[in-house]
Amino acid sequence: MLTFTYHGLACVELELAICLLLNPGRSPYEELELLTTKNPDYVLVSSSADVFMGYVSQFPPNPDRMIFGNEQVIASLQEQGIDITQLRAIKHAESFDAGQGVVVTAYEQSYETDQLITNTMYYVTSKQANVLHLGQAQNLRGLGDCRPHLLCIPIAGPKSGVFTPQAAAETAALIEPNYVLPLLGDVAQSTQFDIAVAAQKKKITRLFPAEGEAYSVPIYERK
């Protein structure tokens, strides 16, 4: 059984043997669920954009908590006054043992929009389940051999720099996870994604968790 909480945008909280919080971001347009009450063991950040890391500096103090990200992320968090002893830069294809059977591997990709963007995709393996969070990805370039039970994939419009609904459905069919959690920009993309999923020849189980509520799904082995 895998239990997780979706907090909106790209933020996913994984309740494994330890607690991992991925991409606790803030929207410039609306106030998401306040994440400052969270006390995760590890925070994993994909991008230096505020929608991926806007809440990191507001967590309750915990000297044992480690925050991982690429060099752009770490530099930005240092500018926000985060204690450097809590920050760890993680490189492409690098893994770390989070304890109690949980291992995190980072896969990095860079691309240009109006500036050079570095995105880190995180593959989390554990005794309960394997989870792949694609962060701010717009393709699978740089991704290693991953067999996730849960795929977290960002979806937005064609000029957003992430997957379009059609590309997201095709990517999910290629990876073949047990479940797909779309990280959505708006309702229109949600509808377009559902249409694209229905057109795929392979079965894709899309999840509809309520934001801010723990959600559990059974895990079955992939063929």
Q: Is the pLDDT of residue 1 over 60?
A: yes
Q: Residue type at 39?
A: N
The dihedral sign for the CA sequence 175, 181, 184, 187: positive
Using DSSP, state whether 170 is helix, strand or coil: helix
> Residue 91 sits in a domain of what CATH number?
3.60.15.10
CA distances (Å), origin 136, targets 82, 153, 181, 184, 211: 22, 8, 14, 12, 20
pLDDT tens digit sequence for 52-102: 887 787 777 788 889 999 999 999 999 988 888 899 999 999 999 999 999
Q: Residue type at 67?
A: I
Would you say residue 220 lies in a domain? no
Would you say residue 7 lies in a domain? yes
Pair 90, 70: CB distance under 8 Å = yes
The pLDDT of residue 101 is 97
Mean pLDDT of 104-114: 86
Using DSSP, state whether 58 is helix, strand or coil: helix
pTM: 0.93
- DSSP characters over 62-121: -TT-EEEE-HHHHHHHHHTT--GGGEEE--TT-EEEEETTEEEEEEEEEEESSSEEEEEE
Alpha helices in the chain (DSSP H): 50-53, 71-79, 165-175, 187-198
The pLDDT of residue 83 is 87
Would you say residue 215 lies in a domain? no
Would you say residue 170 lies in a domain? yes
CA 59 vs. chain centroid, Å, equals 18
Nearest Cα to Cα of residue 169 among 143, 152, 194: 194
pLDDT tens digit sequence for 168-200: 999 999 999 999 999 977 778 889 999 999 999
| Domain encompassing residue 164 | 2-209
Total of domains in the chain: 1
